[in-house]
Amino acid sequence: MCRNIKNLFNFDPPATDAEIRDAALQFVRKVSGSTRPSKRNEAAFDRAVETIAAAAHELLSSMETNQPPRDREEEAIKARARSAQRFPKQPEIVFE
């Protein structure tokens, strides 16, 4: 699955419509293999994004959990730590 699609369930505050739509857009881009559809396919692309966003919104609003809501800032800190471990800083190359 696409790494850019983030987990949206069980956060306080809940995922916004914009976050859900962004995840749907990433999904459609991945499935279609296109970041920007041609003019000919634009309507189908946009329709797919809206349909998937609606399905994701319905899914998130109907799911239940006993776990306490996660904190967005804590999750962001964890994600940055994982990224730093995966992609350590390279020493700068100085050209003289």
**Spans of all domains in the chain:** 11-70
- In total, the chain counts a number of residues equal to 96
pLDDT at 48: 97
Global model pTM greater than 0.85: no
Q: What H or E segment, with its residue span, contains residue 88?
A: none
Q: What is the pLDDT of residues 39-91, one digit of tens each?
A: 999 999 999 999 999 999 999 999 999 999 999 889 889 989 998 888 888 77
Question: In Å, what is the CA distance from 17 to each residue of 50, 52, 78, 90, 94?
Answer: 11, 12, 24, 37, 45
pLDDT at 93: 78
Given a cut of 70, whether residue 2 has pLDDT beyond it is no
